Amino acid sequence: MKTGDSPRTGTVPILASISGVFISFEGLDGCGKTTQAALLAEAAAAAGREVVPVREPGGTSPGERVRAILLDPALEIEPWAEALLYAAARAQLVAEVIRPALERGATVIADRYVDSSLAYQGCARGLGVDEVLAVNRVATRGLLPDRTVLLVLGAGEAAGRRGEPDRIEAEGSEFHTRVADGFADAARRFPERIAVVDASGTRDQVAERVRAAVGL
């Protein structure tokens, strides 16, 4: 578990530690992070760890209601209202699920976390990465993952893997290019935490790269 963003060594095998470990998966819609998060959860459970998978937005009763608002294509939501709703769902998830799990020594595997807000709201919506980070520091009380796996796939390839679009996925290709820029910026900002992983190839090839990135 990590509070704040002091530097740490990128090569530390995160899952070798015996205390609570927090891993997040990030990337464009369609990059395969949900599949890879599930595969890592299976591998960590097989290695004897208690695994707590979470997904954002959502993962709690209040958070799932906020998710329904956020992804409803019929709603027009102002960019700052959107950013604050994501942060509200996250605040609930951290307090109700993530922090207690880390405190009892579990491995938390999150399908999206703060970096999604930096990329989608801070960068693609143009709210400013520093401003969105500041709001999220308050919402999470400074909790950042030990390791973030950023799955990188060309925007066209990711779009081709998506199903029926939700409110955010329905944005145009320029929006998704800005999201990809936002993730690249986050990876430069937090090089010790964020491992950039090539998401092309087969499911098993990517899973192997992910396990190497987290030291499992």
3-state secondary structure of 55: strand
Judged by CB under 6 A, which stretch of 2-10, 100-108, 112-120, 189-197 contacts ligand TYD? 112-120
Among 60, 117, 140, 148, binds ligand TYD (CB under 6 A): 117
**The pair of three-digit structure tokens given for residue 210, joined into one six-digit string:** 């992910």
Beta strands, E only, the chain:
2-3, 21-27, 51-55, 107-111, 143-144, 147-152, 194-198
Cα–Cα distance measured from residue 145 to residue 89, given in angstroms and rounded to the nearest whole number: 17
Cα–Cα distance measured from residue 68 to residue 176, given in angstroms and rounded to the nearest whole number: 21
By CB under 6 A, tell whether 120 contacts ligand TYD.
Answer: yes
Among 31, 32, 63, 86, binds ligand TYD (CB under 6 A): 86
Cα–Cα distance measured from residue 133 to residue 117, given in angstroms and rounded to the nearest whole number: 8
Closest separation in Å from C-beta 9 to ligand TYD: 27
Number of residues that bind ligand TYD (CB under 6 A): 15
Among 64, 169, 185, 192, binds ligand TYD (CB under 6 A): 169
C-beta of 15 vs 117, nearer to ligand TYD: 117
Sketch the per residue contact string, 19 through 58, with ligand TYD: x for CB under 6 A, - otherwise: ----------x----x--------------------xxx-
Judged by CB under 6 A, which stretch of 93-101, 151-159, 165-173, 182-190 contacts ligand TYD? 165-173
Closest separation in Å from C-beta 200 to ligand TYD: 19
- Containing H/E element for 63? helix 61-71
By CB under 6 A, tell whether 64 contacts ligand TYD.
Answer: no
DSSP 154-206: -HHHHHHH--S--TTTTS-HHHHHHHHHHHHHHHHH-TTTEEEEE--S-HHHH
C-beta of 107 vs 121, nearer to ligand TYD: 121
Closest separation in Å from C-beta 171 to ligand TYD: 8
**The pair of three-digit structure tokens given for residue 58, joined into one six-digit string:** 């959502």
Computed over its alpha carbons, how large is the radius of gyration of the chain?
Answer: 16
Contacting positions for ligand TYD (CB under 6 A): 29, 34, 55-57, 71, 86, 112, 116-117, 120-121, 166, 168-169
